[in-house]
Amino acid sequence: MFGFSLFFLSFFLSFFHFADAMATPSPAKSMGDPGITPLSPTHILKDSEENEPTRHPYVVVVAIDFGTTSSGYAYAFTKEPECIHTMRRWEGGDPGVSNQKTPTTILLTPDRKFHSFGYAARDFYHDLDPTESKQWLYLEKFKMKLHTTANLSIDTDLHAANGKKVKALGIFAYALAFFKEQALKELSDQAGSDFDNADVRWVITVPAIWKMPAKQFMREASYKAGLVSRENPDQLIIALEPEAASIYCRKLRLHQMVDLGNKTALNGYSPTENVGMGMTQAKEHVRRNRQSRTFLVENVIGELWSELTEGDRYVVVDCGGGTVDLTVHQIRMPEGHLKELYKASGGPYGSIGIDYEFEKLLCKIFGQDFIDQFKIKRPAAWVDLMIAFESRKRAATPDRSNPLNINLPFSFIDYYKKFRGHSVEHALRKSNVDFVKWSSQGMLRMNPDAMNALFKPTIDHIIQHLTELFDRPEVTDIKFLFLVGGFAESALLQQAVHKMLQGRSRIIIPHDVGLTILKGAVLFGLDPSIIKVRRSPLTYGVGVLNRFVEGKHPPEKMLVKGSTRWCTDVFDTFISVDQSVALGETVKRSYTPAKPSQQVIVIHVYCSEKESVSFITDPGVRKCGTLKLDVSGTESPAARREIQTLMQFGDTEIRAMAVDVATSRSVKASIDFLSQ
């Protein structure tokens, strides 16, 4: 709630003192702000009205794909934008899994200092003695916390495998600092001398469905990691994962993809024969080319893209480890720029949902109490078990007939016997789970139907979202559906999408599907203006005072000031949900400090998923951020200072700029989404 000294007056109120008004008895019971009113109405500016910011001549763009299950970086020099280099080979790796990225796992020492990341963290943790490992802090799949935490803040905690709490901001900062160090070392080795971080334009990818607090959290972690400084925030770009994929898919040539929706064979592959066969060939193609870490992205539009004409629409389905993002884009000619046609949708339906289903199956067989204890008492063995499951999970296909064997760690078998007093084999017999058998070689034998059943809840969610999306009037005549992200490799998911679409659009899967977002993020960093129009995910606004209108405004919202009646808590909309906003378009407002001596103006920003909002107290409206205007050092000779605020909603983040109108001097402006 605003302090009384921090509200803003319209020209209607410029001759009054608000403190006097508050002494007047009034039936108003404001649950929000005492009230602000803009000095000027909303005005949408095109980017041509504003001066373009000066561009820093960055030498290289480095993109970090910070994934739920795996992460990596890639880069391109601005003088050679057609050459995208992926990161160096990682030590370690899993059988049958391309290690062009590394697991998003981090290990801290018992005194909470950074030890290692990725395969190195996992392998070191695995080799620790069980009594030792309990003291170390091991974290994996922690990115989802930013999506699932309702009131995300810089104080949000994560839980390590041993149950201990640690600050999420510190963990994300450690991870980003690790990638910064790796990338700069590789660049320095190439240059033959130390590479200056100031010459790097950094790009970090996030799901399109993430809310503003989560995006800001990644930015705060970047500051803490030393990727960029607060004084130069433009050195970092937040890229939306499906947008990045969309940008890369523009460049695809026919030999770089699998076309599931085409009735004719492509690369000798007919989709009606075997849905999984195309990806098998694609993986072999990637494997053969794995030694080369440089991908040539020709400065031409791919053959597939050349089929698209002005107004054509396509969908990008980004299936990652944690989330699934659905984005609808439209082509704008002649430049081939992209326009977001419908706001990003999706949810927490990534491939880790299959891991959770497997854990539920284990709980059903061995008991929830045992699994909970085993994870705490033998955390490294639990990691081993999930690694074993991961490799078998990737072998699941629609037409598989033979069982999948999953190795149970010896410590699982041993600890279960101590915990229950009988064997794992006995537990399986008693569980009535007849599609999982015990092998005398120490393995769980799952029949294919059992494995496929673990996929079903996650895939059903994805298909439901896709069905709802394709039923929308805005989403018609979709030419292509691009299936990207690591989970897109799943033949079970491919088959389900193919069956759901029934030929309504062609399904395109890039060969290097796990690196699509990473490469696209590099291209986005080289040209952030390629996405020209986006859709607002929410309705944003502030609470203001308006003239009270009998019959229109509720009596309980009335505030009497002198002889004038005002309505409190009115929601003054900046931008509406799903509203189309062009890159560089700006919402303009003017405010004035209540007192000449005031140094900081604070405005609470509210949001809603509804398009039409009347009051900040309406159901579903919540305070989501705070706009701060620091007016110190901008003393104005004018009797009434006007601070003109410009807010950009067409970018991947909401940006705020402000200027003191009388002096034309800039005012520090920022929107904080994390201090709720």
> Residue 139 maps to which CATH number?
3.30.420.40
The pLDDT, as a whole number, for residue 333 is 65
| The token pair that represents 486 in the structure block | 């690591």
| The token pair that represents 431 in the structure block | 């569980």
Positive or negative torsion for Cα 178, 184, 185, 190: positive
Between these two residues, 442 and 154, which has the higher pLDDT value? 154
| Residue 307: inside a domain | no
At which of 200, 218, 240 does a domain end? 240
349-372 pLDDT, tens per residue?
999 999 999 999 999 999 999 999
The pLDDT, as a whole number, for residue 255 is 63
CA distance 653 to 344: 14
Tell me if the pTM is above 0.95.
no
At which of 240, 268, 296 does a domain end? 240
At which of 212, 240, 268 does a domain end? 240
pLDDT over threshold 60, residue 45: no
Q: What is the arithmetic mean of pLDDT over 373-394? A: 87
**What is the three-class DSSP state of 68?**
coil
| Residue 364: inside a domain | no
| Residue 552: inside a domain | yes
The pLDDT, as a whole number, for residue 474 is 76
CA distance 403 to 390: 15
State how far the alpha carbon of 637 is from the alpha carbons of 658, 660, 661, 664, in Å.
Answer: 18, 11, 11, 12
| Residue 82: inside a domain | yes
| Residue 299: inside a domain | no
CATH number at residue 607: 2.60.34.10
CA distance 561 to 563: 6
Pairing of strands 105-108, 137-140: antiparallel
CA distance 239 to 417: 49
User: In which domain, by residue range, is 565 found?
Assistant: 538-670
| Residue 359: inside a domain | no
**Residues 6+ positions from 576 with CB-CB distance below 8 Å:** 536, 539, 611, 612
Q: What is the arithmetic mean of pLDDT over 371-392? A: 87
**What is the three-class DSSP state of 438?**
strand
The pLDDT, as a whole number, for residue 392 is 86
**What is the three-class DSSP state of 535?**
strand
441-453 pLDDT, tens per residue?
888 888 888 889 9
Helix, strand, coil shares of the chain, percent, nearest 5, are 35, 30, 40
| Residue 67: inside a domain | yes
**Residues 6+ positions from 426 with CB-CB distance below 8 Å:** none
543-565 pLDDT, tens per residue?
888 889 988 899 999 988 888 89
Between these two residues, 73 and 661, which has the higher pLDDT value? 73
Residues in the chain: 676
For the chain, what is the domain count? 2
Q: How confident is residue 266, by pLDDT bands cut at 50, 70 and 90?
A: very low
The pLDDT, as a whole number, for residue 281 is 53
Residue 62 gets the label, from left (phi > 0), alpha (psi -120 to 50) or beta, of: beta
The pLDDT, as a whole number, for residue 380 is 82
| Residue 84: inside a domain | yes
582-612 pLDDT, tens per residue?
888 888 888 877 677 778 888 889 999 999 9
Is residue 225 exposed (0-12), middle (13-18) or buried (19+ Cβ within 10 Å)? buried
